Structures are given as structure tokens and as C-alpha cells.
Amino acid sequence: MSRVCQITGKKAMVGNNVSHSNKKTKRKFNINLIKKKFFLSEENRWVTLKVSASALRTINKKGISAVLKEGKLK
């Protein structure tokens, strides 16, 4: 599985490491992914999702069923 958030669709960005002498080398800015199980009470089952930390905050605020109903599942 790729390192992509299943709720927001966030993925790693590419940038540069910049040294003191201003040399640049490529690097990746990975997202903070967490593999988490959620219980869907409407379907009476558990779902395992790979979500970013920001998506987890949204789920804590709105609830998993509301976030999934918004159509954010990428």
C-alpha cells in the first residue's frame, strides 16, 4: 500500500535539503500516517484505514460516519 491518506488523499511532497553552502539535494516530506481501526455503528463492523493525523482530528471532531458520508474517501 502506498503512503496516502485514505480520507484526504494527502501524500508525500518533494523538496530540497539545503546545506549551509546552499547545495541542494532532493528529499521527501512524508505525511504523518496512522493505521487505525474505526467502528461503523450503521453497518455494525470495524474498518481499518490509513489516515493522516489531520484527518484523525477531523474524524474526532465530526465522527467517522459523517466524514465518510461527505465523500472524502479517496
Grid cell at residue 74 = 479517496
Write down the pLDDT at residue 53: 97
Write down the pLDDT at residue 29: 97
- Main-chain phi, psi angles of 15, to 5 degrees: -150, -160
Cα angle: 54, vertex 59, 65; to 5 degrees: 145
Bridge partners, 24 (sequence order)? 18
Write down the pLDDT at residue 74: 59
Grid cell at residue 32 = 504523518
Taking only the tens place, the pLDDT of each residue in 6-47 is 999 999 999 999 999 999 999 999 999 999 999 999 999 999
Q: Is 71 left (phi over 0), alpha (psi -120 to 50) or beta?
A: left
pLDDT over 70 at 55, yes or no: yes
Higher pLDDT, 8 or 71: 8
Please give the domain boundaries of the chain with CATH numbers for all domains: 13-69 (2.30.170.40)
Residue 9 CA from chain centroid, whole number: 7
